Chains A and B, each alone.
Chain A
Amino acid sequence: MYPSRFNYESPKTLADAIALLDSGAGETKVLAGGQSLVPMMKLRFAFPGTVVDINNIPNLNYHRFDSDGTLRIGALCRHEDLEHSDVIAKGQPTIAAAAPLVADPIVRTRGTFVGSLCHADPQGDWAAVMIALGGRVVVQGPKGKREIAMKDFVLGPFQTALEFNEIAIEAVIPAPAGQARGGYLKLERRVGDFATASVAVALEITGGKVVRAGIAMAGVGGKTIDATDAASSLVGQALTEANIATVAAAVAAVAEPRSDHRGSSDYKRQIIRTFVTRILTSIANSTKKAA
C-alpha cells in the first residue's frame, strides 16, 4: 500500500496522545485498530499529516461490568474480545449477538468497538447496538473528560461530536433495569460485508414486562437510525404476537433505506420488519420458557 506521506507517533500515555492531537490542528488522526483508517489511507481518501497510534497506551484494553451492572468498554477492546467474552455472553445479549457479525474474523482481531463508533459509518454495526442500548461515549481532551450520549455522538455520516483534540476512551452501557434481553440480525452479502440492513434490539424486562425497549438500525439510512420511539408501545407490556407485529411495522416505517443494487427500499423495510419480528419472537419464546 502506498498512502500519502505521514508522520507516525506512538505515545505511551493518554496525555501525550492528546497533546499530539492538540498540536496537530486537525491534521492528526488517532489510529486504533486501523481497520477503517488504514484502508482509507491506502485509497488516499484520508491523508492525515500525523497518525497517533494509541495501541501502546496501557489500560485501554478492557471490558467489564461494574458492580451495579454498568458495562464499560475501553478504547482498545477489540471486536473479537467481545465475541469471545464470557461476561458478555452472560450479561449483554445484544452485543453478544452482534460481535460475530461485525466484519470478518481477521478484521475482528484488530478493529475496536470504540474506533468503530468514532468512524461513524452509517452501515457500522456497533453504533446501532449502542443506540439501542442507550449507551454513552466518554471522551477526553486537553480540558478533561466529558460524556456524550451515543445518539448525540454521531452527527452524520463519518462525523462525530469529537473535537479534533479529543480521544474517545470508553463506551458506557448503563445497567439494565431488570433483565437485559436482546438480539442483533444483519443481512450481508457475505462475511466481511457491511449491512444491507441490520437491527439491534435491546430490551429490559422485569416481571415478564418490558420496561425499556431500545431498537436501532444500520444500513437503512444516511446515518444509524434510532427506532426507540417506534418501539415505545412495548413498554409496560408483555411481548405478544400482536404487539410484536405492530412494533416490527413501526420500526420498518422509520427506516430510510434507499433503493440500490442491494435491493429496493421496500425490500430493505421488509428485511427490517422480518428481523424485528424474529428477534422479539425469540425473546418472547425464551421469556415464556423461563417463566
Chain B
Amino acid sequence: MPLDEIKIGGMGASRRRVEDNRFIRGKGNYVDDIVLPDMLHMEILRSPVAHARIKSIDVSKAWDTPGVRLVLTGEMMAARNLAWMPTLSYDTQAVLATDKVRFQGQEVCAVIADDPYIAKDACAKIVVEYEILPAIVNPLQAADPASVLIRDDKENQPGNKVFDWEIGDKAGTDKAFAAADKISKIELHYPRTHPSPLECCGSIADYDRATGKLTVYMTSQAPHIVRAAVALVAELPEHQIRIVSPDIGGGFGNKVPIYPGYVISILASILTEKPVKWIEDKTGNLISTGFGRDVYLKGELALRKDGRILGVRMNTVSDHGAFFSDAQPSKFKIGLMHSAFACYDIPVAHMMSTGYYTNKAPGGVAYRCSFRVTEAMFFQERMVQAAADDLGMDQAEFRRINFVKDDEFPHRTAFGFLTDSGQYGKCLDIGLEAIGYKNFAKEKAEAASRGRLLGIGISTMTEPLGAGNSREYDILGIKMFDSAELRVHMSGKALLRTGAKSQGQGHETTWAQIVTHELGIPAEDIVVEEGDTDTAPFGMGTYASRSTPVAGAAVAMVARKIRAKARKIAAHLLEVSEEDIEWELGRFYVRSNQDRGVTIQECAMAAYSNMPDGMEPGLENNAYYDPPNLTWPFACYIAKVEIDPETGVWDVLQFVAVDDCGVRINPMIVEGQIMGGLTEAYAMANMQYITYDEEGNCIGANYMDFLLPTAWETPGFELYEVVTPCPHHPIGAKGVGECATVGGPAAFVNAVMDALKDKGVRNIDMPLMPNRVYEALTTGNDVYGMPPVRVGN
C-alpha cells in the first residue's frame, strides 16, 4: 500500500501550523522574552524635531541618575567610527546624530541602565539644544534648488536628489505614442504607509570579552545579512558573531534593514561588558523604521482604437526620507517598479524615476512586496482602468485583449522581465462569474433607486517573486540565493534548517511538507529550525516572497540529494543494482518485485549501521539554490462596493480573489496569507497612511492615528484558485505571501472610482476616506495627495 501523502502531511495537506502550538499558549519566544543574567536595558532619546542643527547636548543629569550605567552620544559613537553606518542601498545613515537631526524620531542619545524605567527617566533628563532648520516634507520641496540641503554631511551632494534612474526604450516609446489613437494620462500618489508588525524591533547584544564572541538576539528577517553587516560596521571577525532571530511577531519587510538601535546596543554591550537589551516602542517603530511606498506617478498609455495598449510611459518621483536605506537588490534604485504591466502584452515601455531626500523617516522597505512591486501594480491597474474608461471600453474586456495569452509563454515584458506561465484569462473569467459581472448593470440600477452608488473594480496582475537569480540580484554584492540543510537521523526522523526566517509565514509547517513530499517521511517527524547564524546555512532571509521560491526550492533539492544517497543504500540492502530500483513515496522497491522493498526509515538506519562498503556514513546534506528566474504568480481581485452619497462612506458588498500561485504546499496557509494580504490592502485603500505637517511632525505615530483595520470593518473575502505550476521551480510553487497586498488596493480603489465614473471623477488618491469620497462626488473633482493635516479653522 503506497503512503497517502495528505495523511502524512505532504504537499497539498492543509496541515495545522505546528508553530501555533506554542503561539496560542503564550509560549512563543520573542526577543523581549529573552532574559540574560546581568542584563542592562537601553532606551533611545529621539529627536522631537524634523530638521535642526545640534548646538549642544548635556547628558550630565542622565549620568547622575542612580542605576544608569552608560550614556551614549553621537560624539562618543564618532570616536569609535560608529556615528554613521552603511545602508543596504549604498548610502550612509546616522546611528546617533552628531551634526544635525534630519527627521523627527531620529536617534540622538542612548541611555543604558539597570531597568527600562530608569533608562526612560534618565532619557528625559538629557538636554539637547536645537537650532531649527526648515523641514522638507515632500519631493516637490526637496527638488527646489532654493531648499535647504538635507545631506550636507555628504561630499558631492549638491541638492536633495538621491538618484535618477531610467529603464526601457525611450525612442521606441515616443514613437508608439506618436502613432497612438488615444493617449490616456493619470497622476497618482501611493501614500506613505508602514508595515507595522505588532512586535516592534529589538535586540539583545551580548559581547563576551573572554571569548571575543558577540551574540545578538534580534528581530531580523535576514540574520545572515545582519551578520555580514555587523562584521563590516563593528569590524569584528565573522566567525565571532552569532545572530539569533528567535520567534518574530511579524515583519512585512520592516525587519530587513539594520537599525541604529541594533548597532548602539552592540557597542553598549562591548563597553559595559554586559548584555544590553533594546526594545523599541510602537511610536519608535512607526516614526523611525522602514516605511513603505510614498511614490508619485505620472502615467501614460498609448492606445489603439480597438483597445490594444501600444506603449507605456511611467514617471515616478519617490520620497526616501533622510537616508537612502531602502532594502532592495542594490542594482535597482526604485526596486522592481519596472515589473509593471508584466501581465499585458505591450510592445514598448519607458520609465524615469527620481528619488529625493526629505526630512522624514528613512526606509522605503518592501512592505509585503518584492521591492516597490506594490506601487508598480497599483499604478498599472489604476492606469488600466482610466484607459478603459477613456476608450469607453468594458474594463474586463480591455484587460482581456491586452493579456499575455496562455500559449505566449515564455514572454519578454516591455521592461525586459521574462514571465514563464499563467492562465490570466481563466482567472479573470472565474472572478467575473463569481462577482456576478453580467448582472451588475441591473444591480447598479436597483441600488440607484435606493439612492446608493455601486461600483465594480478589477485588479489583475502578475508580480515577480523570489529574488533572485544571482546574475541580476544581489544585496551589497552578496548574491541572492538561498539554502537548506537536512539531517536524517538513524530513526528516520529529521532536522531541517534553512537560510530563510519565518516571521509568521509558517515555515516550520510548510518546509516539513516539502521534505515529506520528496522523501515520504511524515511531516510530524521533521523539525525545522531557522534564524541562528551559527547553525543555519547561509541564506538571504525572508522577504519579497522569496522563501518558497528560493529556500523552499533548496529544501526540495536537499531532500533529493538525500534520496539519491538513500537509493544507493537501498540497493545495498536489497542486494540489487541501483538501476533496478524504483521509488514510491517513502519507499524503494525492486522493479521486478514490488513487494521487495525498504522504507526511507530503514535506509536511514542503515546509513548509520549498515552502509555499503566505501560509502561515507550518515544521511545528511545541504543545498544552495540559485533560481534560474523569478517566479510569476498571477492574481485577479474584484471588489464590489456601495457608496452612501450622503456621507461618502463606502462598503464592500463582495470581494472575489482568484489566485494562481502555482502548486500549493499547504492550502490553508495559502488562504491565510491571501486573507491577511487583502486586509492590509483594504487598510491602505480605506484608512491608512502616514503624513507630515509642514514642520515635519509625523502624523501616524501611534495606533490612534495610524489605523489597522479590525475584524469588524474588514470585509469578507471569497477565495478561488487556479494552479499553473512554475516550470522552473522544483515543486512548481510560485510564492503567495504578497500577491494580495500588492494587487488588492487597486481593486478597492477601482471599484470606488467605477461608482463615481458618472460624476466625472477620475481619481481619488488613497486613502479613500469618506470625506474624500464625499468631496469628489459632490464636486465632481479629483482628490489628490495626502489628507491635509490642519486646514484653517
Using a CB–CB cutoff of 8 Å, the interface residues on chain A facing chain B are: 2, 4-5, 44, 104, 187, 189-194, 196, 258-264, 267, 270-271, 274
Contact = CB atoms under 8 A, between A and B. Distances in A.
B229 interface: no
A260 B646 CA distance: 19
Interface string B699-721: 10000100111101100000000
B790 A260 contact: yes
B791 A259 contact: yes
A261 B713 contact: no
5 contacts: A189-B769, A258-B792, A262-B771, A267-B775, A274-B647
Given A192-B710, A261-B699, A270 B120 contact: no
Contacts of A267: 648, 771, 774-775
B646 A274 contact: yes
Contact of A4 (B121, B648, B770, B792): B121
Interface in B615-649: 646-649
B710 A2 contact: no
A189 B788 contact: no
A190 B649 contact: no
Contacts of B687: 189-190
A44 B787 CA distance: 28
Interface in B297-344: none
B691 A261 contact: yes
Contacts of A196: 771
Interface string B20-42: 00000000000000000000000
Contacts of B792: 258-259
A104 B774 contact: no
A261 B787 contact: yes
B347 interface: no
Given A2-B120, A104-B710, A259-B793, A187 B691 contact: no
Q: DSSP majority for the A interface? A: loop
A27 B789 CA distance: 34
Interface of B: 116-117, 120-121, 124, 646-649, 687, 691, 699, 704, 707-710, 712-713, 769-771, 774-775, 787-793
B788 A191 contact: no
Nearest to B702: A43
A193 B707 contact: yes
A187 B121 contact: no
B753 to A, nearest CB: 20
Given A5-B117, A270-B646, A271-B647, A190 B790 contact: no
Nearest to A185: B647
A192 B707 CA distance: 10
B791 A260 contact: yes
Contact of B788 (A44, A193, A261, A271): A261
Given A2-B116, A2-B117, A2-B120, A262 B769 contact: yes
Nearest to A189: B687
Contacts of B704: 193-194
A187 B710 contact: no
Contacts of B691: 261
Contact of B774 (A189, A258, A261, A270): A270
B710 A263 contact: no
B535 to A, nearest CB: 34
Given A5-B117, A261-B787, A191 B713 contact: yes
Query: Among the interface residues B124, B713, B789, which one has the most CB atoms of the partner chain A within 10 A?
Result: B713
A263 B790 CA distance: 10
B712 A187 contact: no
Contact of A187 (B647, B713, B775, B791): B647
B791 A264 contact: yes
Nearest to B771: A263
Given A259-B790, A260-B791, A263-B769, 19 more contacts: A2-B116, A44-B124, A187-B649, A190-B710, A193-B704, A193-B707, A259-B792, A260-B788, A260-B790, A261-B699, A261-B769, A261-B789, A263-B770, A263-B774, A267-B771, A267-B775, A270-B774, A271-B647, A274-B646
A191 B713 CA distance: 7
B26 to A, nearest CB: 17
Contacts of A261: 691, 699, 769, 787-790
A263 B788 CA distance: 9
Contacts of A271: 647
B192 to A, nearest CB: 14
Contacts of A5: 117, 121
> Which one of A2, A194, A262, A270 has the highest number of Cβ atoms from chain B below 10 Å of its Cβ?
A2
B331 to A, nearest CB: 38
B18 to A, nearest CB: 28
A189 B685 CA distance: 12
B281 to A, nearest CB: 8
A241 to B, nearest CB: 15
B770 A187 contact: yes
B771 A258 contact: no
A190 B117 contact: no
A215 B708 CA distance: 32
A190 B712 contact: yes
Contact of A190 (B116, B647, B699, B707): B707
A13 to B, nearest CB: 31
Contacts of B120: 2
Contacts of B770: 187, 263
A-B pairs, 10 with minimum CB distance: A263-B771, A259-B791, A261-B787, A191-B712, A274-B646, A2-B120, A267-B771, A191-B710, A189-B687, A190-B713
A189 B709 CA distance: 9
A67 to B, nearest CB: 38
A187 B647 CA distance: 9
A5 B791 CA distance: 39
Contacts of A190: 687, 707-710, 712-713
Nearest to B648: A267
B788 A259 contact: yes
Nearest to B788: A261
Nearest to B770: A187
Given A187-B647, A193-B707, A270-B774, A260 B789 contact: yes
Contacts of B788: 259-261
Contacts of A189: 687, 707, 769
A76 B709 CA distance: 29
